[in-house]
Amino acid sequence: MNTDLISIVIPCFNQAHFLQDAIESVEAQTHGSNEIIVIDDGSTDDTVKVASRYPEIKLVRQPNTGLAAARNSGIKSSSGDYLVFLDADDYLEPNALAAGLGCLKKYPECAFAWGRYRIRNAQGKVCEPGQISDRHGDAYARLLCGNHIAMHATVIYRREPLKIVGGFDARLSACEDYDLYLRIARRFSIVSHEEVVAEYRRHADNMSLDSPMMLAAALRALEAQRAYVDENPNYKVAYASGIRFWRRFYGVRCLRKIARELSEFRFADARDDAASLFRTAGASTILLNSPVWIVRQWVADRRWTRKG
């Protein structure tokens, strides 16, 4: 086995229109010892047709089982000592693999390394600069407080620690990367670097726009750490901080959505989203952030609609 071989796993579910860019961003890497594995997760579009244009890649087809399970299939189908998981709608910078591998070689005790990223809109325009990594303090405690890594494609893993923790939790419909970071950081060292290595493509179908689902998944990932935190009191403050952070972060996003739905007289949608928010965030998020805020946002939206 080539010890510098990096396996890039690209799960794809009905995102054939983005897949070519993802594949070609890997083929443009300055680090040349790579294998590309595309997991067609039950797509009904042209995913297979696009992937088949590249005979050098490995295409794995399976019924739709979700992002976490697709990534696990990629792990099983790969042979590199290092792995990167690139969503089909995202993009790697040419230096991504070289930068990540260089960082892991500098810190051989670390299970994974991550860098910075940019945000790009659906038309291909960079609309936000690279994010700043956070490398200070206890890595596990920082992750309990929130997912500062943010974009999964910035991460390069060593295979063995990934195998030891059991890969991705296929029971999670979202935040499976956050859950994995927590499980790895609890047992191994991790490290960041300052290179911009990936671009997150923002578009109307981003999973992260489903705030109620994302909130539930983030809280579930944290809840999985509860037993360990209870046995290690030093982490209880960070755990409580993380619960507050996720409720506030996605709770406010959901409140904005509810306010927009009210402004558009979509009362049934607003009711369903409010019920979902109540179940996942609890009454405190709604009471602390809401009734006056929703009314103000509703008035602002109505004024903007009239101006338009």
Domains and CATH numbers, the chain: 6-205 (3.90.550.10), 210-307 (no CATH)
Q: What is the pLDDT of residue 132?
A: 62
pTM: predicted TM-score of the whole model, two decimal places: 0.85
- DSSP H/E element including 200: strand 189-202
Q: What is the mean pLDDT of residues 134-163?
A: 91
Q: Residue 43 to residues 61, 65, 201, 273, 290: CA-CA distances in angstroms?
A: 9, 11, 20, 28, 39
* Amino acid occupying residue 180: L
Q: What is the pLDDT of residue 281?
A: 59
- Which pLDDT band, with edges at 50, 70 and 90, does 7 fall under? very high
Q: What is the mean pLDDT of residues 241-256?
A: 84
Distance, CA of 170 to CA of 168 (rounded, Å): 6
